């Protein structure tokens, strides 16, 4: 098992952070993903990935699959993960999240 490196501001969101959060910095979240028969892998989600998800993927009602960074899966799971990453980035790097959102034409309301 690898060590976890979490930004101290993450503990404002969680009393006990979930085990799948491996690393949280100002620019990225490293998530441990169980790929079923493919095994366990770690994926990196950066601020731009979250902004792109909300700009292009979140409103797509035609597909049952969505993408967040390099993670592809059922829309419900990906949507929950995107919301969690958004909350983390709002806590650790609010201005960076706002900047990435504005670059894609979104109007951040946080």
| pLDDT band for position 98 (cuts 50, 70, 90) | very high
The mean of the pLDDT values for the chain is 90
**pTM score, two decimals?**
0.89
Q: Cα–Cα distance between 60 and 8 in angstroms, integer? A: 34
Domain map (residue ranges) of the chain: 8-103
Orientation angle between helical segments 75-92 and 94-103, nearest 10 degrees = 120
Q: What percent of the chain has pLDDT over 70?
A: 96
């Amino acid at each position: 098992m690898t060590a976890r490196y979490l930004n101290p501001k993450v503990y404002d969101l969680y009393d006990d952070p979930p085990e799948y959060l491996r690393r949280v910095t100002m620019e990225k979240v490293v998530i441990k993903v169980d790929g079923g028969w493919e095994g366990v892998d770690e994926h990196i989600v950066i601020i731009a990935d979250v902004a792109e998800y909300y700009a292009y993927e979140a409103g797509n009602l035609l597909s049952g699959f969505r993408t967040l960074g390099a993670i592809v899966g059922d829309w419900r799971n990906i949507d929950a993960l995107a919301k969690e990453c958004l909350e983390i980035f709002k806590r650790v790097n609010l201005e960076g999240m706002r900047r990435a959102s504005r670059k894609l034409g979104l109007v951040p309301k946080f």
